[in-house]
């Protein structure tokens, strides 16, 4: 006897539409204390709430809602990790908030900068880690928390970042991603030698461009995974689109929309498309090799799912009550990260379905 929430048919979970969801999110900023300030749009005073009442619906099959209790049962005595940049950090908060509807996790580790953290669900002996590794390879970064750089990134394209590779063998499930950091000015190293750069005028280095570095890095990362003999489930997630209009992060870009777009209404930006094409190409190359080696490597391609949600970003509400004192204040907008609760929560529905299917 198959229960009503068991889905047998295979389908493309990543092609679908956002449809009305009157019941809204499974948690709020009041029920979940794990939302970081910049993503806490409700607390920060975002006035509209329509963005909370949509759900992702694949076109050709049912997608069960995320079941936190079942997820925790499936992952009892296991270790999960989300590895990457601040989008991974955004996602770990979403996952923790949804799981916290069953049991509140306890933070058991953080690094000195509070960039990498680990939480434990005691009743299930289950851990979730967020591992900060924005390039996945070894990097020296010179910038503050607002993304203002004082020098080019020093990037070693042939040395994987030990922050994640040292933990890799001990993990049962992981979601690995990278992306936007490769657009930053950087000096590239191979064999401990400077080989070129991206945006380094006056340095007398060859301008190789970010695609060169992204191809090299992802090839190296995928090769490491495909040849690792790892027995867990490894997801590679594509990078996420932003929705800045009339500018970018540092020059007044904003994202004023309050409703989802329909497919085709929003065009992916050139830089996001280039990153995604490299990701898909390197994943395809590695997938066959991984399968031959018994490594369970799967793709999470959330690009189009999020492309249709220009309404899901904090915008000016990345800071607390930005217009409390001045209705026309000029404030920093965030059209890259995602409000919580928000569209990102539906990643967990898709991921759970893929875990159930195995």
Q: Residue 188: how many CB atoms within 10 A of its CB? A: 27
pLDDT digits (tens, 9 = 90+) for 226-254: 999 999 999 999 999 999 999 888 888 99
280 occurs within a structural domain:
yes
Write down the catalytic residue from 161, 242, 301, 334.
Answer: 334
Q: Is residue 147 part of a domain?
A: yes
CATH code (residue 44): 3.40.50.1110
The answer to whether residues 334 and 313 touch, using CB atoms and an 8 Å cutoff, is yes
Q: Is residue 7 part of a domain?
A: no
Selected catalytic residue, list 38, 156, 198, 337? 337
Q: Residue 216: name the closest of 293, 303, 285, 292 by CA.
A: 285
pTM of the model: 0.94
**For residue range 27-81, what is the model confidence (pLDDT) as tens digits?**
999 999 999 999 999 999 999 999 999 999 999 888 999 999 999 999 999 999 9
Evaluate whether residue 160 is within a structural domain: yes
Owning domain of residue 226? 17-355
C-alpha 58/C-alpha 259 separation (Å) is 19
Report if residue 179 sits inside a domain.
yes
In a domain, 348, yes or no: yes
- The pLDDT value recorded for residue 357 is 86
**Does residue 6 fall inside a structural domain?**
no
Number of domains, the chain: 1
11 in a structural domain: no
Give the pLDDT score at 9.
53
**337 catalytic residue (yes or no):** yes
- Residue in 86, 88, 129, 133 annotated catalytic: 86
Q: Is residue 65 exposed (0-12), middle (13-18) or buried (19+ Cβ within 10 Å)?
A: middle
For 89-130, how does the pLDDT look when each residue is reduced to its tens digit (9 = 90+)? 999 999 999 999 999 999 999 999 999 999 999 999 999 999
Cis peptide bond N-terminal to 341, omega within 30: yes
Whether 86 is catalytic: yes
């Amino acid at each position: 006897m198959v229960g009503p929430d068991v889905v047998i048919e295979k389908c493309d979970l990543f092609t679908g539409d956002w449809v009305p969801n009157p019941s809204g999110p499974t948690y709020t900023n009041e029920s979940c204390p794990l939302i970081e300030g910049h993503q806490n749009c409700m607390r920060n005073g975002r006035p509209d709430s329509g963005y909370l009442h949509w759900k992702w619906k694949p076109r050709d099959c049912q997608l069960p809602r995320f079941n936190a209790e079942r997820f925790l049962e499936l992952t009892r005595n296991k270790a999960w990790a989300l590895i990457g940049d601040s989008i991974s950090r955004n996602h770990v908060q979403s996952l923790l908030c949804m799981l916290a509807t069953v049991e509140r996790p306890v933070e058991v580790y953080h690094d000195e900068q509070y960039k990498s953290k680990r939480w434990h669900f005691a009743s299930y002996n289950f851990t979730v880690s967020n591992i900060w590794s924005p390039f996945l390879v070894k990097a020296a970064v010179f910038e503050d928390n607002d993304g203002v750089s004082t020098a080019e990134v020093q990037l070693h394209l042939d040395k994987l970042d030990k922050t994640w590779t040292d933990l890799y063998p001990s993990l049962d499930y992981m979601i690995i991603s990278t992306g936007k950091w490769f657009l930053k000015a950087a000096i590239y190293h191979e064999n401990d030698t400077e080989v070129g750069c991206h945006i380094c005028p006056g340095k007398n280095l060859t301008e190789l461009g970010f695609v060169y570095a992204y191809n090299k890095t992802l090839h190296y990362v995928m090769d490491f995974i495909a040849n690792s003999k790892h027995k867990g489930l490894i997801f590679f997630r594509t990078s996420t689109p932003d929705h800045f209009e009339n500018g970018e992060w540092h020059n007044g870009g904003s994202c004023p929309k309050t409703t989802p777009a329909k497919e085709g209404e929003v065009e992916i930006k050139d830089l996001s498309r280039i990153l995604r094409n490299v990701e898909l190409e390197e994943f395809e190359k590695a997938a066959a090799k991984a399968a031959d080696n018994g490594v369970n490597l799967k793709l999470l391609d959330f690009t189009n799912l999020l492309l249709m949600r220009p309404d899901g970003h904090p915008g000016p509400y990345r800071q607390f009550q930005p217009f409390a004192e001045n209705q026309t204040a000029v404030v920093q907008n965030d059209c890259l990260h995602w409000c919580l609760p928000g569209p990102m929560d539906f990643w967990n529905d898709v991921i759970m379905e893929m875990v159930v299917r195995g």
